[in-house]
């Protein structure tokens, strides 16, 4: 099992609260979701993590990032529009589907952690 973590910009949340609203957007620009790139003052910490995990998975499986810009401002502008580069056709269709779902512009349309764990690509075994 591979686990990836970065606590450099962690925000403490009350683990007993059903609320996961965050008020600070930090971290590497390439991993910022559209809501932060567009200047939202509060956002779901879990949905931000789903987005960032989608960017990480996209990069690990393609060697590229889903958004590009020749400087940080153009990168954030591209992310804010929320139109990632389509996953390459040589990826498994189930992986393409997962990446598209994790990188939805609208945070409410992104999968939950439980949905990701049940996704066909996550549950599949390598050949």
Task: Tell whether pTM > 0.85.
Answer: no
Superfamily of domain 25-123: Transferase(Phosphotransferase) domain 1 (1.10.510.10)
Please report the pLDDT score of residue 3 as a whole number.
62
Query: How far is the C-alpha of 106 from the C-alpha of 103, rounded, in Å?
Result: 9
Please report the pLDDT score of residue 27 as a whole number.
67
pLDDT digits (tens, 9 = 90+) for 12-50: 555 565 665 555 556 688 888 999 888 877 767 788 889
Q: Give 44's strand partners.
A: 21
Mean pLDDT, residues 95-110 = 96
Lowest mean pLDDT segment, chosen from 1-5, 66-70, 88-92: 1-5
The residue with greater pLDDT, 63 or 39, is: 63
Domain locations along the chain: 25-123
Report whether pLDDT(8) > 50.
no
Burial of 36 (0-12, 13-18, 19+ CB in 10 A): buried
Please report the pLDDT score of residue 82 as a whole number.
84
Annotate 59-123 with DSSP letters as a single string. HHHHSS-S---SSHHHHHHHHHHT-PPPPPTTS-HHHHHHHHHHT-SSGGGSPPHHHHHHSHHHH
Long-range contact set of residues 88-94: C-beta below 8 Å, sequence gap at least 24: 88/62, 91/61, 91/62, 92/121, 92/124, 94/119, 94/120, 94/121, 94/124
Query: How far is the C-alpha of 16 from the C-alpha of 79, rounded, in Å?
Result: 32
Please report the pLDDT score of residue 126 as a whole number.
78
């Amino acid at each position: 099992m591979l686990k990836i973590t970065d606590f450099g910009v962690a925000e403490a949340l009350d683990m007993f609260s059903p609320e996961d609203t965050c008020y600070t957007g930090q971290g590497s620009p390439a991993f910022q979701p559209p809501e932060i790139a567009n200047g939202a003052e509060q956002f779901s910490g879990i949905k931000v993590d789903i987005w960032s995990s989608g960017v990480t998975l996209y990069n690990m499986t393609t060697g590229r990032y889903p958004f590009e810009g020749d400087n940080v401002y153009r990168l954030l502008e591209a992310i804010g529009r929320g139109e990632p580069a389509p996953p390459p056709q040589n990826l498994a269709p189930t992986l393409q589907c997962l990446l598209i779902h994790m990188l939805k512009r609208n945070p409410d349309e992104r999968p939950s952690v439980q949905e990701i764990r049940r996704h066909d690509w996550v549950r599949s075994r390598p050949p």
